[in-house]
Protein backbone atom coordinates (compact mmCIF):
# COMPACT_ATOMS: atom_id res chain seq x y z
CA UNK A 1 0.00 0.00 0.00
CA UNK A 2 1.17 3.50 -0.71
CA UNK A 3 0.29 6.48 1.39
CA UNK A 4 0.46 10.13 0.52
CA UNK A 5 1.64 12.42 3.27
CA UNK A 6 -1.24 14.79 2.48
CA UNK A 7 -4.05 12.33 3.16
CA UNK A 8 -4.70 10.59 -0.15
CA UNK A 9 -6.89 7.60 0.58
CA UNK A 10 -6.43 4.00 -0.52
CA UNK A 11 -9.04 1.84 -2.20
CA UNK A 12 -8.98 -1.85 -3.01
CA UNK A 13 -9.34 -2.77 -6.68
CA UNK A 14 -9.07 -5.95 -8.74
CA UNK A 15 -6.76 -5.98 -11.73
CA UNK A 16 -7.53 -7.76 -15.02
CA UNK A 17 -6.12 -11.04 -13.73
CA UNK A 18 -8.54 -10.94 -10.81
CA UNK A 19 -5.84 -10.48 -8.20
CA UNK A 20 -6.31 -7.82 -5.55
CA UNK A 21 -4.13 -4.75 -5.84
CA UNK A 22 -4.00 -1.44 -4.03
CA UNK A 23 -4.66 1.79 -5.90
CA UNK A 24 -4.54 5.32 -4.60
CA UNK A 25 -7.94 6.98 -4.69
CA UNK A 26 -8.03 10.22 -6.65
CA UNK A 27 -8.36 13.06 -4.17
CA UNK A 28 -7.28 15.98 -6.35
CA UNK A 29 -9.03 18.30 -8.78
CA UNK A 30 -6.42 18.34 -11.52
CA UNK A 31 -8.68 16.87 -14.21
CA UNK A 32 -11.60 19.15 -13.36
CA UNK A 33 -9.43 22.27 -13.73
CA UNK A 34 -7.77 20.93 -16.89
CA UNK A 35 -11.12 20.19 -18.54
CA UNK A 36 -12.51 23.54 -17.36
CA UNK A 37 -9.64 25.27 -19.19
CA UNK A 38 -10.33 23.19 -22.31
CA UNK A 39 -6.93 21.51 -22.20
CA UNK A 40 -5.99 17.97 -23.13
CA UNK A 41 -3.29 16.19 -21.16
CA UNK A 42 -1.00 16.75 -24.16
CA UNK A 43 -1.70 20.48 -24.19
CA UNK A 44 -1.03 20.74 -20.45
CA UNK A 45 2.20 18.81 -20.91
CA UNK A 46 3.27 21.26 -23.62
CA UNK A 47 2.48 24.21 -21.33
CA UNK A 48 4.91 22.74 -18.78
CA UNK A 49 7.55 22.39 -21.52
CA UNK A 50 7.41 18.63 -21.06
CA UNK A 51 8.25 18.69 -17.35
CA UNK A 52 5.03 16.74 -16.86
CA UNK A 53 4.40 14.05 -19.48
CA UNK A 54 0.89 13.21 -20.62
CA UNK A 55 1.10 9.87 -18.82
CA UNK A 56 2.27 11.51 -15.59
CA UNK A 57 -0.63 13.99 -15.74
CA UNK A 58 -3.03 11.13 -16.41
CA UNK A 59 -1.56 9.19 -13.48
CA UNK A 60 -2.14 12.18 -11.20
CA UNK A 61 -5.72 12.50 -12.44
CA UNK A 62 -6.58 8.84 -11.95
CA UNK A 63 -4.79 8.56 -8.63
CA UNK A 64 -2.20 6.04 -9.82
CA UNK A 65 0.31 8.62 -8.68
CA UNK A 66 -0.24 11.01 -5.77
CA UNK A 67 -0.25 14.67 -6.76
CA UNK A 68 2.50 16.24 -4.66
CA UNK A 69 2.55 19.78 -3.35
CA UNK A 70 5.53 20.56 -5.57
CA UNK A 71 3.70 19.28 -8.69
CA UNK A 72 0.53 21.16 -7.72
CA UNK A 73 2.54 24.37 -7.35
CA UNK A 74 4.03 23.93 -10.81
CA UNK A 75 0.77 22.93 -12.54
CA UNK A 76 -1.55 25.46 -10.86
CA UNK A 77 -0.52 28.53 -12.91
CA UNK A 78 -1.32 26.69 -16.15
CA UNK A 79 -4.78 25.77 -14.88
CA UNK A 80 -5.93 29.05 -13.37
CA UNK A 81 -6.03 27.44 -9.95
CA UNK A 82 -4.13 27.55 -6.69
CA UNK A 83 -2.09 24.55 -5.57
CA UNK A 84 -4.52 24.19 -2.66
CA UNK A 85 -7.47 24.00 -5.08
CA UNK A 86 -5.76 21.24 -7.08
CA UNK A 87 -5.16 19.28 -3.87
CA UNK A 88 -8.67 19.96 -2.50
CA UNK A 89 -7.24 21.77 0.50
CA UNK A 90 -8.43 24.96 2.13
CA UNK A 91 -7.33 27.92 0.03
CA UNK A 92 -5.31 29.27 2.95
CA UNK A 93 -3.47 25.95 3.45
CA UNK A 94 -0.23 27.27 1.98
CA UNK A 95 -0.51 30.77 3.40
CA UNK A 96 -1.22 29.98 7.05
CA UNK A 97 2.14 28.37 7.67
CA UNK A 98 5.43 29.56 6.27
CA UNK A 99 7.97 26.78 6.35
CA UNK A 100 11.66 27.35 6.54
CA UNK A 101 14.02 25.90 3.95
CA UNK A 102 14.80 22.82 6.04
CA UNK A 103 11.14 22.25 6.90
CA UNK A 104 10.23 22.34 3.20
CA UNK A 105 12.99 19.82 2.51
CA UNK A 106 11.63 17.53 5.25
CA UNK A 107 8.10 17.70 3.81
CA UNK A 108 9.45 16.97 0.31
CA UNK A 109 11.41 13.96 1.56
CA UNK A 110 8.46 12.61 3.55
CA UNK A 111 6.30 12.91 0.46
CA UNK A 112 8.84 10.88 -1.51
CA UNK A 113 9.03 8.22 1.21
CA UNK A 114 5.25 7.99 1.35
CA UNK A 115 5.20 6.85 -2.27
CA UNK A 116 7.71 4.04 -1.71
CA UNK A 117 5.36 1.77 0.19
CA UNK A 118 4.25 0.76 3.64
CA UNK A 119 7.49 -1.00 4.62
CA UNK A 120 9.58 2.11 3.96
CA UNK A 121 7.00 4.37 5.61
CA UNK A 122 7.10 2.20 8.75
CA UNK A 123 10.91 2.39 8.81
CA UNK A 124 10.88 6.18 8.62
CA UNK A 125 8.14 6.42 11.26
CA UNK A 126 10.30 4.26 13.53
CA UNK A 127 13.34 6.44 12.93
CA UNK A 128 11.39 9.64 13.59
CA UNK A 129 9.72 8.25 16.72
CA UNK A 130 13.12 7.12 18.01
CA UNK A 131 14.55 10.59 17.40
CA UNK A 132 11.59 12.34 19.06
CA UNK A 133 11.64 10.02 22.07
CA UNK A 134 15.36 10.63 22.75
How confident is the model at residue 100, as a pLDDT?
79
Q: How far apart are CA 79 and CA 75, in angstroms?
A: 7
Cβ atoms within 10 Å of 120's Cβ, excluding its own: 14
pLDDT at 93: 55
Residue 11 buriedness (CB in 10 A; 0-12 / 13-18 / 19+): exposed
The pLDDT of residue 79: 93
- pTM of whole model > 0.75? no
pLDDT at 34: 93
Domains in the chain, ordered, with CATH? 10-133 (1.10.260.40)
pLDDT at 110: 81
Mean pLDDT, 10 residues at a time, the chain of 134 residues = 34 35 54 93 95 95 88 92 83 61 82 80 91 89
What is the per-residue pLDDT for 104? 80
DSSP secondary structure, 57-116, as one string: HHHHHHTSSPPPHHHHHHHHHHHTS-HHHHTT--TTHHHH----HHHHHHHHHHHHHHTT
Amino acid sequence: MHYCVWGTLLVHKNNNAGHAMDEVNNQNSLKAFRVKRGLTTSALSRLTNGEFSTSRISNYETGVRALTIDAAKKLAPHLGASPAQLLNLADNFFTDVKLGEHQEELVRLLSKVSLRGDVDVKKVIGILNGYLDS
